[in-house]
Structure 1
Amino acid sequence: MKIRIWDLPTRLFHWALAASVIGLVVTAKTGGNAMVWHFRLGYLVLALLLFRLAWGLVGGHWSRFATFVYGPRSVLRYLRGGAPAAHTAGHNPLGSFSVFALLLALAAQVTTGLFADDEIAYAGPLAHQVSAELSLSLTWYHKVIGEPLLIALVVLHLLALAFYIGVKRQRLVAPMWHGDKEVDGDLPASRDGAGARWLALAVFAAAGAVAAWVSRIGS
């Protein structure tokens, strides 16, 4: 049975976030004038994360956090191959850890970036709201810990995708592209009509407004 698993707002969030993270890494490594775009992409990721936080509460069924927060028993059952269909339709128990780890790492990276100061040309909009010592500590995390941690998590995420596609023969990328997936049993579909999409647009507009406000604090 084929049902809508990933609503359009979730799919747009996913691909926009992936493109933004790539852009953030490239601009960080390039430095110089590219840092202007690094900051812009950082604000975009902040808006995307705020949107996802809200959408995890009011979005389509399989996009809600409640559908992919698993306890130890669920994880063990999944590893033993006995997970119910509801635990594999959206994010499976192992995949959920990857999702939350990436979101938390990105949240930490964006937050520390807002307070970072390279002491040369660029400083986050909140850098002068804290002491110089704290700003430097957050800058150190952003560059030395946060960046390689985020890259490592992305690589692990991609390796896991490759494993599921190549070894377990599970199509995980296609459903995130067109939204639909073949599932076993009678499972609920995610809301993805005009009403849900207008709601998502309003939520993202609010998230974007917050990110824009944060970007202007230091100006």
Structure 2
Amino acid sequence: MPAEDCRHLVPTRVWDLPTRLFHGLLAAAVIGLVITGVTGGNAIEWHMRLGVAVGALLVFRILWGLLGGRWSRFTSFVYAPAAVGRYLRGQPRPTDRFDVGHNPLGSLSVFGLLAVLALQVATGLVADDEIATTGPLNRFVSGATASLATGWHKGYGQWLIYALVGLHVAAIVFYVTRKKQDLLRPMWHGNKLLPPGTPASADHLRSRLLATVLLAACGAAGVWVYRLG
């Protein structure tokens, strides 16, 4: 962006604090899942705990996608095929706000990663390694279902997550190096330089208290599920 245009941009709150904390906690939990899954042995107990934690975080994100700040809500980054086409052609309409939150390709990446993580958690909850470890919900499904879930969880599921995480990281690097758009710092402090008048996300005390209540409820549900095992 030309320097003369940058002078007319103002800091605008895009990512509210609950969304930023969700991203950080989810990234840490997924890294922990990979480490404990590869380590095996006694680390599997922590693998299950982290898996349940990821499930609780995903439920929170679904709720926050309905109740959170403007640019954290799903309605802000669910795009019609026509909008995706305009983005790919580089012909946005004046009403398109592809430069604020998630652009169309970014939104597809986000939804894809959340869906695959949810499937991985769900299969882990009912999995059975037929040695010493079963998921906390294993007793509620048939042996055939548990076997199918275990095969996905230990096979295609984990490799699909690796691929999507790698794609996510590659996209960030591409935007930083080629398009000169820093996607990391706005996610750290919440603000992004945008044209005056761009609607901001709510990030006040009441919103943060609501997020705290929702996260606590999701965490309590996760503990309950874990103790079923």
Global fold match (TM > 0.5):
yes
Residue 39 (str. 1) matches residue 48 (str. 2): yes
Residue 185 of structure 1: how far off its partner (Å):
4.8
2:72 equivalent among 57, 63, 66: 63
Greater shift in the superposed pair: 81-90 or 125-134: 81-90
Q: Which runs of 4 or more aligned residues in structure 1 lie more than 3 Å from their structure 2 counterparts after TM superposition?
A: none
2:25 equivalent among 16, 26, 43: 16
1:129 equivalent among 136, 140, 156: 140
Where 1:87 maps in the other structure, the secondary structure is coil
1:92 equivalent among 85, 88, 103: 103
After the TM superposition, which residues 1-219 of structure 1 pair with which residues of structure 2 at under 5 Å, given as runs?
A: 1-83=10-92, 84=94, 86-218=97-229
Task: Determine which structure has more spread, i.e. the larger CA radius of gyration.
Answer: 2
Count, aligned residues: 218
In the alignment, residue 123 of structure 1 is paired with which amino acid?
T
TM-score (norm 1): 0.97
Residue 2 of structure 1: how far off its partner (Å):
1.4
Deviations 1:49-77 (A, max 9, x none): 01000000000000000000001111111
Greater shift in the superposed pair: 182-191 or 170-179: 182-191
TM-score (norm 2): 0.93
Residue 23 of structure 1: how far off its partner (Å):
0.7
Deviations 1:30-62 (A, max 9, x none): 100111110111111011001000000000000
Deviations 1:176-210 (A, max 9, x none): 00000011352111111111100000000111111
Residue 120 of structure 1: how far off its partner (Å):
0.7
Runs (5+) with no aligned partner, structure 2 = 1-9
